[in-house]
Chains A and B, each alone.
Chain A
Amino acid sequence: MANPLDAERMGGLPHWEPQDVIGQMTLKDLLFSHDYRHIAIKGMLTSIVMLALGGLMAMLFRTELALPDIQFIQARSYMSLMTLHGMLMVFGFAIPLVISIMYYMMPKVLGTERLLWARGAQWSWWMLIAAAVLLVLSRPDFTWTFYPPMSLRVVGDLAWMGYVAIILVALSEMVAGAVLFRNGWAAKGRFRMMPLMGWAALSEGILLMVSTPVLGLVGVFMLTDWLQLTAMFDTARGGDVMTFMFLFWFYGHPAVYLPLVPAIAILYTLMPRILGKPMWSYWSAVLAFGLLTMLSFVVYPHHFQPAETVAGPLQRATQILTLLIFIPSTMHVFNWIATLWGDPIPISAKRSVPFKFIIASIVFLILGGVTGYVNAQIAVDSDFIHNTYWVPAHFHAMFVGFVANMAMAGVYYLYPYFTGRMFNQRLGSMHFWMWQIGIFTKVMMMYVLGYAYFPRWVVDYLPLPEWSMPQMMLTGGAYLIGLGFIVFVINIMLSAKRGQAVSGDPWVVEHGLTGDAAATPAE
Chain B
Amino acid sequence: MIMRMFLIFGLVLLGVTGYFTVVVTPPNYQASPKVSEVALLQEKGLLPTGLTAENEELEHGIFDVPPMDEMMLEAAKASAGMNMGGMNMGGMDMSAGSSNATMTMADGSTMKASDMGTAATTPPANADMTMSDGSTMKMSDMGTAATTPPANADMTLADGSKMPMDTLPPAPDGLRFSDAGTFDREVTLAMSEWTFSDLQLDVKKGERIRFTVRNDGNILHEFMFMTMPAMAAVSYRAKRADWNLLEHEALFEQSLLLPGAQVSFIVEVQQDGNWMFMCMLPYHMQMGMMGQMATPGMAMKM
Chain B residues lying within 8 Å of A141, measured Cβ to Cβ, are 26
When the two chains form the complex, which single residue of B18, B242, B245 contacts A56, counting CB atoms closer than 8 Å? B18
Of A171-179, A250-258, A323-331, A460-468, the segment with at least 4 beta carbons within 8 Å of chain B is A460-468
Chain B residues lying within 8 Å of A56, measured Cβ to Cβ, are 14, 17-18
When the two chains form the complex, which single residue of B32, B122, B239 contacts A75, counting CB atoms closer than 8 Å? B239
Contacts A49-B9, A52-B14, A493-B4; A77 near B26 (Cβ below 8 A): yes
Contacts A154-B30, A236-B35; A71 near B10 (Cβ below 8 A): no
In chain A, residues 144-192, which have Cβ atoms closer than 8 Å to a Cβ of chain B?
Answer: 149, 152-156
When the two chains form the complex, which single residue of A49, A235, A237 contacts B6, counting CB atoms closer than 8 Å? A49
Contacts A136-B13, A156-B27, A461-B241; A235 near B21 (Cβ below 8 A): no
A333 within 8 A of B: no
Classify chain A's interface size: 35 or more
A379 within 8 A of B: no
Q: Do residues A153 and B32 form an inter-chain contact, with CB atoms below 8 A?
A: yes
In chain A, residues 484-507, which have Cβ atoms closer than 8 Å to a Cβ of chain B?
Answer: 489, 492-493, 496
In chain B, residues 23-45, which have Cβ atoms closer than 8 Å to a Cβ of chain A?
Answer: 25-37
Chain A residues lying within 8 Å of B100, measured Cβ to Cβ, are 71
Q: Do residues B22 and A73 form an inter-chain contact, with CB atoms below 8 A?
A: yes
When the two chains form the complex, which single residue of B2, B31, B98, B239 contacts A25, counting CB atoms closer than 8 Å? B2
Chain A residues lying within 8 Å of B239, measured Cβ to Cβ, are 70, 74-75, 460
When the two chains form the complex, which single residue of A30, A72, A236, A489 contacts B33, counting CB atoms closer than 8 Å? A236
B118 smallest CB distance to A (angstroms)? 5
Cα A152 to Cα B4 with chains together (Å):
40
A472 within 8 A of B: no
Q: Do residues A69 and B14 form an inter-chain contact, with CB atoms below 8 A?
A: no
B200 within 8 A of A: no
Q: Do residues A70 and B34 form an inter-chain contact, with CB atoms below 8 A?
A: no
Chain B residues lying within 8 Å of A30, measured Cβ to Cβ, are 2, 5
When the two chains form the complex, which single residue of A73, A234, A461, A493 contacts B7, counting CB atoms closer than 8 Å? A493
A449 smallest CB distance to B (angstroms)? 14
Can you name the residue of chain B whose Cβ is closest to the Cβ of A29?
B2
B95 within 8 A of A: yes
Cα A72 to Cα B100 with chains together (Å):
9
A139 within 8 A of B: yes
B97 within 8 A of A: yes
Q: Do residues B26 and A139 form an inter-chain contact, with CB atoms below 8 A?
A: yes
Chain B residues lying within 8 Å of A360, measured Cβ to Cβ, are none
Contacts A52-B10, A77-B21; A69 near B3 (Cβ below 8 A): no
B35 smallest CB distance to A (angstroms)? 4
Q: Do residues B29 and A154 form an inter-chain contact, with CB atoms below 8 A?
A: yes
Chain A residues lying within 8 Å of B36, measured Cβ to Cβ, are 236
In chain A, residues 361-395, which have Cβ atoms closer than 8 Å to a Cβ of chain B?
Answer: none
Cα A465 to Cα B17 with chains together (Å):
33
Chain A residues lying within 8 Å of B121, measured Cβ to Cβ, are 463
Can you name the residue of chain A whose Cβ is closest to the Cβ of B23?
A77
Give a binary string over A57-74; 1 marks a CB under 8 Å from any B CB, 0 the rest: 100100000001111111
Contacts A81-B22, A156-B26; A69 near B240 (Cβ below 8 A): yes
Give a binary string over A101-139; 1 marks a CB under 8 Å from any B CB, 0 the rest: 000000000000000000000000000000000001001
A512 within 8 A of B: no
A23 within 8 A of B: yes
A405 within 8 A of B: no
B271 within 8 A of A: no
In chain A, residues 385-420, which have Cβ atoms closer than 8 Å to a Cβ of chain B?
Answer: none
Give a binary string over A339-355; 1 marks a CB under 8 Å from any B CB, 0 the rest: 00000000000000000
When the two chains form the complex, which single residue of B26, B35, B218, B245 contacts A80, counting CB atoms closer than 8 Å? B26
Q: Do residues A462 and B21 form an inter-chain contact, with CB atoms below 8 A?
A: no
Cα A139 to Cα B22 with chains together (Å):
11
Cα A498 to Cα B271 with chains together (Å):
80
B49 within 8 A of A: no
Chain B residues lying within 8 Å of A41, measured Cβ to Cβ, are 2
A53 within 8 A of B: yes
A206 within 8 A of B: no
B88 within 8 A of A: no
Chain A residues lying within 8 Å of B21, measured Cβ to Cβ, are 57, 60, 77, 80-81, 84, 139
Q: Do residues B14 and A463 form an inter-chain contact, with CB atoms below 8 A?
A: no
A356 within 8 A of B: no
A45 within 8 A of B: yes
Chain B residues lying within 8 Å of A153, measured Cβ to Cβ, are 30-33
Contacts A74-B25, A460-B240; A492 near B122 (Cβ below 8 A): no
A511 within 8 A of B: no
A76 within 8 A of B: yes
When the two chains form the complex, which single residue of A57, A156, A460, A493 contacts B241, counting CB atoms closer than 8 Å? A460
Cα A84 to Cα B20 with chains together (Å):
13
B58 within 8 A of A: no
Give a binary string over B105-121; 1 marks a CB under 8 Å from any A CB, 0 the rest: 00000000000001001
Can you name the residue of chain B whose Cβ is closest to the Cβ of A464?
B122
Chain A residues lying within 8 Å of B242, measured Cβ to Cβ, are 462
B53 within 8 A of A: no
Can you name the residue of chain A whose Cβ is closest to the Cβ of B241?
A460
B121 smallest CB distance to A (angstroms)? 8
Chain A residues lying within 8 Å of B46, measured Cβ to Cβ, are none
A83 smallest CB distance to B (angstroms)? 10
B99 within 8 A of A: yes
Q: Do residues B241 and A68 form an inter-chain contact, with CB atoms below 8 A?
A: yes
Cα A84 to Cα B26 with chains together (Å):
13
B116 smallest CB distance to A (angstroms)? 11
A307 within 8 A of B: no
Cα A23 to Cα B5 with chains together (Å):
12
Q: Do residues B6 and A60 form an inter-chain contact, with CB atoms below 8 A?
A: no
Contacts A53-B13, A77-B25; A237 near B3 (Cβ below 8 A): no
A57 smallest CB distance to B (angstroms)? 8
A458 within 8 A of B: yes
Chain B residues lying within 8 Å of A493, measured Cβ to Cβ, are 3-4, 7
Cα A291 to Cα B200 with chains together (Å):
66
Chain B residues lying within 8 Å of A136, measured Cβ to Cβ, are 13, 17
Q: Do residues B6 and A76 form an inter-chain contact, with CB atoms below 8 A?
A: no
B195 smallest CB distance to A (angstroms)? 16
Kindly list 19 other residue pairs between chains A and B, CB separation below 8 angstroms, not including A75-B28, A156-B27, A461-B241: A25-B1, A41-B2, A49-B9, A60-B18, A68-B118, A69-B98, A71-B99, A75-B239, A84-B17, A153-B32, A153-B33, A235-B33, A236-B37, A236-B218, A458-B241, A460-B241, A463-B122, A489-B7, A493-B3
10 nearest A-B pairs in the assembled complex, by CB-CB distance: A236-B33, A153-B31, A156-B29, A460-B241, A236-B34, A49-B10, A236-B35, A69-B99, A45-B6, A77-B25
Could you give 5 example pairs across A and B, Cβ below 8 Å?
A: A22-B2, A30-B5, A460-B239, A463-B118, A463-B121
